[in-house]
Chain A
Amino acid sequence: MDPAFWHRLQFAFTVTYHYLFPQLTMGLALLIAVMKTLGRRPGGEVWNDAARFWIRIFGINFAMGVVTGLPMEFQFGTNWGGFSRVAGNVIGHTLGMEGLFAFFLESSFLALLVWGEKRLSRTAHWLCSLALFFGSWLSGYLIVATNSFMQHPTGHVVGADGVVRLADFAAFVLNPWAIAAWVHTMMAAVVTGSFVMAAVGAFYLLRGTDAPVVRRFLGLGVTAGLLASLIVAFPTGDHQAKLVARHQPAALAGMEGRFESGPYARITLIGQPDVAKRRIDNPLQVPGMLSFLAFGAFHSDVPGLAAYPPDTWPDNIELLYYAFHVMVGLGTIFIGIMALAALMLVRGKLAGNRPMLWLLMLAFPFPYIATTAGWMTAELGRQPWLIYGLMRTRDGVSPLVHPGSALFTLIGFAGLYLVLGFLFVFLIAREISHGPVAVAQEARYV
């Protein structure tokens, strides 16, 4: 077996699980900041009440994000020592800045946001919500910038010893790939946050718990959900795909299950890739569309996998293909759902439309699936490279750590995270069962 296998599976499992939490945190951070800002207007008290409910959910979710994030930082050293030794001089900058500029900000103000409303002045509590928004989105940028160096390295030089060194700080931190991926990722986080918010609003209405705050959940959730779903697809998703087409052509071919090269490339809407026979079974395709989306003209040549040596192909083309298609398919459906809901909202008919409320309530898991599929697309498409074109994944593992040790710790994480998952669902369900009108918290410890 590939000695890197358990290391890869452990990182994939722990990072996938971890990202279930920050995506809601980042999405809610924006929505809470919006609610706290609206709550400052005369007569805006109901927005403050709405924010209070979501800050409780935010606090529990944030705690899960913090504790599941710790192993991510450490695994660079424990499991990916080869990578850290080669690239630490570069990616250490973004990871170090994340600690100094984002984590301290978030951790200092989280307890004040969650428990400090009565103690702090209105302005101070509002500033806490802005601090959490700024901190969590900055953290998001620095992590995406770290990943973007692996996707599309910029601002570095490679030494004779194979070690990658920082040459141009600005070119590294302002990697065009990072800026595009960050906007796309943050908007996807807002999609998750707004679908969850709308689902909770729909849940209360369907249960017959109508209150002004519940209408605000639904209104803000649907409005932000529609805007974010649109931006995720266009321009950010489109731009991201064009970057992949230009810089990772083998990844694009894998995402589309495209084996032969040529102009007027067809986009596959539905179909199953058969890698051994190098074809798509049961395809439903649109001619020329892939050429147009990737390069802006129908006659553009889009290379297929056959144009590249097989040892530079992504190593799991089936999973890459499905991850990409699940992401794009769900993203399209999100626009449809939210556009329909927004239309009803504008006409004042949403709160009374039970089928639509059912749809919104049941839709909230799907943004989580879409973001997971999105990251799988990015990371599987990058294979077999750890740093695209510079370092292969198999060369990045810690050379002396036994695969058995990695399997052992993977099993440990699986067990621990299963228990944490049950606890999390239990606590969130409990918060929701307390009803939408939360009591203002008084932090007695201050």
Chain B
Amino acid sequence: MFELWYGIVSVMLAAYVVLDGFDLGAGALHLLVARNDRERRTVLAAIGPFWDANEVWLLAAGGALFVAFPRALSAGLSGFYLAIFLVLWSLILRGVAIEFRSHVGDRLWRGFWDVVFSIASALLPVLFGAALGNLIRGVPLTHDGWFQLTLFTTFQPHDPVGTLDWYTVLAGVFSLVTLTGHGALYLFWRASGPVGERARLMGTRLYILLAVLWPVTTLATAAVNHDLLAVLPHRPLALVGLVLALAGMVGVFVSGARKSAGAAFIASSAFITGMLVATAGCLYPVMLRSTTDPALSITAQNAGASPAGLHTALGWWVIGFPIVIGYFVLLFRLHRSKAVAAEDGEGY
């Protein structure tokens, strides 16, 4: 049961990264790929119907973590206290920027929100990547199962660690490049006119950068957490993830060269999913790794809620999850044609 819920939480987080990832990436890039108001509205039109539902995956994954692993959730969120509030404030400003921007036609108003939208959209992937970096590097857990990290200490990935060090920042940059590449390929697929063409070039370039960053980040990960890569050959699921990620990266280049937009976006989604599956597959059963004593690590077993409660939660989860998939199928079907900028006052 703990293994199953570890999987459920991982699947929901992966859905969050793939889905909100494309609108975060598109937001971070939109000042570069969209150069006038009409083009920016095209970007907003492409992500407008989706961004809020995409973001709910983060809350829903948090809810699954809460019910299944309350010890992991409470230790993690309180331990990264200041970083979590940076995430929250970025999410707030970003949501407001998307929803409020097009209500007023004034240039200063729109210019202001465009910059807010870009900065918040770029900061969030960095913070999420750094968060994953922290889980891989580990945190100084106490005997009671709590920890508290300052934002940064010496920028070295060993005690006394801070939320940000060279490794977690590298993970943040890796995440930013991945999600901006993903967002660019989404715009290549969904945005009409020059935005789509610029996004295609941008997406291919970002994936070339990613192809360089990937081995670098992997080497850094091996240096920071030796066990993680050591178990890889013994974890079939992680190997499947690795193959999926490799296939995704090759797929991005092939379909980018063929200008096959939908395939490029799917390949990019496969790369992200594969990376996350491989990471989760290697980390299991650890949820919060201890930097001091492996026995203090919070794992799926020692953080898990009562099996009876998990059984009950599974009952409502298997009802809710297919309904949610249904909503997304409906949304993508309703918005299947390329996005065109809305007239003033008639859309995002």
Contact = CB atoms under 8 A, between A and B. Distances in A.
B53 A99 contact: no
Contact of B335 (A81, A96, A409, A445): A445
A107 B341 CA distance: 21
A178 B120 CA distance: 38
Interface residues of B, number: 74
Contacts of B216: none
Interface string B136-174: 000000101011100000000000000000000000000
B146 A100 contact: no
Interface stretch (B22-30, B204-212, B232-240, B324-332): B324-332
Contacts of B88: 70-71, 74
Given A63-B96, A100-B316, A405 B348 contact: no
Given A63-B99, A84-B74, A70 B312 contact: no
A100 B320 contact: yes
A395 interface: no
Contacts of A430: 103-104
A443 B21 CA distance: 24
B244 to A, nearest CB: 26
Interface residues of A, number: 69
A77 B45 contact: no
A399 B99 CA distance: 37
Chain A interface secondary structure, helix, strand, loop or mixed? helix
A90 B46 contact: no
Interface string B81-96: 1101100110111011
Contacts of A99: 56, 59-60, 62-63
A308 interface: no
Contacts of A89: 67, 70, 305-306, 309
A409 B85 contact: yes
B131 interface: no
A286 interface: no
Interface in A69-121: 70-71, 73-74, 76-82, 84-85, 87-93, 95-101, 103-105, 107-108, 110-112, 115
The residue among A59, A104, A443 with the most chain B CB atoms within 10 A of its own CB is: A104
Nearest to A415: B89
Contact of A100 (B66, B306, B317, B337): B317
A383 interface: no
B76 to A, nearest CB: 7
B342 interface: yes
B60 A100 contact: yes
Contact of A84 (B52, B66, B323): B66
Contact of B60 (A76, A103, A420, A442): A103
B285 interface: no
Contact of B99 (A60, A81, A98): A60
Nearest to B69: A88
Interface in A333-357: none
A416 B343 CA distance: 30
B79 to A, nearest CB: 7
Contact of A110 (B52, B104, B316): B52
Nearest to B84: A78
A408 B83 CA distance: 12
B74 A67 contact: no
A247 to B, nearest CB: 24
Contact of A444 (B53, B92, B342): B342
B176 interface: no
Interface string A380-412: 000000000000000000111110010011001
The residue among B66, B321, B327, B346 with the most chain A CB atoms within 10 A of its own CB is: B66
A79 B103 CA distance: 35
Given A63-B96, A76-B66, 9 more contacts: A74-B77, A77-B62, A81-B74, A81-B75, A104-B323, A107-B52, A108-B331, A398-B78, A445-B48
9 contacts: A71-B85, A77-B74, A77-B84, A78-B85, A88-B305, A96-B316, A96-B317, A107-B56, A442-B347
9 closest pairs, A vs B, by CB? A88-B70, A77-B77, A92-B67, A96-B63, A445-B45, A398-B78, A100-B320, A81-B74, A99-B60
